[in-house]
A and B are shown apart, each in its own frame.
Chain A
Amino acid sequence: MADESPRRAAQPIGYALHVSEREIARRKEFLEFGEADVETLRALNDAAVRYADPVIEDLYRHFLSFDETRTFFRDPKVLERVKRLQKEYFLRLTRGDYGSEYVTDRLRIGTVHESIKLDPKWYLGAYNFYLRSVAGRFQEAAGGNAKKALSDFLSLMKLVFLDIGLAVDTYIHARELTMRKQQEAIRELSTPVLQIRERLLLLPIVGVIDTQRARLITESLLRAIRDNRAKVVVMDVTGVATIDSKVANHLLQTVTAARLMGATVIVTGLSSDVSQALVQIGIDLSKLNTAGDLQGGIEEAEKLLGYRVVPTLEAGAKDSHAA
């Protein structure tokens, strides 16, 4: 659970989740974790120190009997170090002072779990194992006073749930960061504007178009029109699987904006399904220049720009004939 090398711990965790003092207080309030609980836990510290080692041994025997968790402890040296840190983690539960320093420490550990890909299920399972193995020992420590043992245990539960809440937050936070990074990467990849001839741009659109992406596509196209002094743009939508009225309107806006800058847009690659769907939903695309496929679009664009593409062989034959 508390796997972390000293090297890793020394590294600042760049995207640490911040939990404010107020937020901590609020969470404790909701758990009804008060001063009495702090006192109870602190009083348990001696007992905790006594049973820490056997509990750890039990827990790691459990870890090592499952393939999924065993993989984290292949190296005996790592195992020893992790056990030590694990013990520290558990002893921290009964040391009192559960302020921002405590929270920061717990958040850091959650981030480490995420970075080594220890899934929440193993974390939660291990915590549950810990609780079960200390429950009996609480009873022994209370000298058969079942009521006290239970109330001690409930105080511990509150703190454990605070821990779990923080850990779950770090998991979610880390996943969200990953998702955001990937979305950005996809977005950057997905809006290339290519010049294929002097004054002729190609805009291949692949994938799903939402409002935000349509905006990015339009902006990068308009910038490219200005920078390349483009007069014709071939917009290929072969890679767009479905076009609904919203997407069609985005595309129309892009075409209109390009026209405002003096460029003509030719749309290519509207499949039969997409075309039929557009007609069905009654979107007026009559103002649009279209060509059946990309080749047709480029030929049309070349005509508009006054290019004529002639195979070199044919051209050579004509030249020699003329000579």
Chain B
Amino acid sequence: MIAYFLRRLISAIPTLLAIITIAFFMMRIAPGGPFDTERRLPPEVEANLEKAYHLNEPLVAQYWDYLGGILHGDFGPSFRYKDFTVTELIRAGFPVSLKLGLSAIVIALVLGIAFGTYAALRQNRLGDHAVMGLAVTGIAIPNYVVAPLLTLVLGIYLGWLPVGGWNDGAFRNMILPVATLALPLIAYVTRLTRGSMIEVLRANYIRTARAKGLPMRLIVWRHALPAAILPVITYLGPAAAAVLTGSLVVEQIFGLPGIGRYFIQGALNRDYTLVMGVVIFYASLIILLNLMVDLLYALLDPKVSYR
């Protein structure tokens, strides 16, 4: 198991290197540069800026410099946010994105598994149809529609919740963004749980348990749920990715200081170092999460083992 873990970690290095290289050169191929803005700078001033950021050196030399910097944990200064280094920006933004994302995933798991199990147990009855109808709606409505609707009703018409801002992660400020992020996830988890639960409930060992006269609660909790939950665990990898990409939209709409927004803003501003920093950070995170999901899978499913 440990050998497997290490092997996976080592094999991540070439993947990361490829991502860094492709991202670095693609960023530079894109027309326009960090100083192409509405307010053009005179050439002599731009020359001073390019020198300050080493942009006047050959591209390949810049690439090696950049790789060297990464090895020392230095992602360089941001072009757009001149008073900060990229590391400082990610350090400031990540806790926000993490808090949002984790809350959304936890809520999605708890509610999704609960709803899914409920629907499975009432298969093809009113409760099932109601839950599944809601789930399909949840999947179908994109978060950039849900978010303004929620803020309009709960924030402006009713005045119950703040419509934006982070306020140091106050609970009130978290509710709407987390709800927006979690809704489609709840819907997915509900559907996944329902499907696999129905399948598991038909399995022979469940029938045996029933025949033994075990109470239904015990059967579901102890025997059915651990098996039914496996597809949900598999979904955690894509869910994490969905939360990351979803947070781009949610952070933008609610004006939250996470790192999701750096992706879009950084790319539009040609903030080379910031985009690279976020790309590397996200790539590492996704590689790590996928690895953890695989390991978790091995723990939960006796049929899977890694060597």
Q: Do A and B form a real pair?
A: no
B→A interface (CB under 8 Å): none
